Amino acid sequence: MKNYYQDFLIRDWVESDRTRAAEVISYVLSEYGLGWEPKGADRDVLHVEECYLATGGEFWVIEHQSQLVGTGAYYPIHRGEKAVEIRKMYLLPSIRGLGLGKYLLQQLEAAIARRGFQQIWIETASVLVEAVKLYESNGYTPATGVETTRCDRVYVKSLVNGYWSMVIGQ
């Protein structure tokens, strides 16, 4: 993945991004009073190769002026039918409100659809108000079965054939 939104570069994660990605995610979590959990919910950020790349997922970073300012990722899960979970979608406060979150979500959905997945799951916390609004305004419906301790909401979106066709240009 290598794509631009305005002057933001969205690209595949590389090993040298590990610490910077962790710092962005940790910062955003602390901003909302949520804890960084390197041995729990955030273990995947420190083990991207194992948790994303080796399982058929992707982990992307967003750069602005050579600074890492956001992340977004997904990996296959055993919940639902041909399902993935979008994870680690975080943007630093200085770049929110520019439409980048919506664009990132759309790019993740397009990549997921191209790979033939049929459902997208997202877990989040109610305090992440912007994230909740983004998911709800983009067709994600509330579901049950939160699996991550710090999360209290779970959403699902089905990718129907019409959506796939629109996304992959058929």
What is the separation, in whole angstroms, between the first and last Cα of the chain? 20
Q: Which two structure tokens, joined as six digits, stand for 109? A: 């959905």
**Verdict on whether the full-model pTM lies above 0.85:** yes
How far CA 156 is from CA of 24, 63, 72, 98, in Å, comes to 25, 28, 17, 25
In tens digits, the chain (170 residues) has pLDDT values of: 999 999 999 999 999 999 999 999 999 999 999 999 999 999 999 999 999 999 999 999 999 999 999 999 999 999 877 999 999 999 999 999 999 999 999 999 999 999 999 999 999 999 999 999 999 999 999 999 999 989 999 999 998 754 544 444 44
Q: What is the pLDDT of residue 168?
A: 45
Q: Which two structure tokens, joined as six digits, stand for 74? A: 């997904």
Q: What is the pLDDT of residue 170?
A: 41
102 contacts: CB under 8 Å, gap ≥ 6? 134, 138
Q: Which two structure tokens, joined as six digits, stand for 20? A: 């910077």
Separation of alpha carbons 153 and 150, rounded Å: 10
Asked if 46 contacts 140 with a C-beta cutoff of 8 angstroms, the reply is no
In DSSP terms, 91 is beta-bridged to: 70
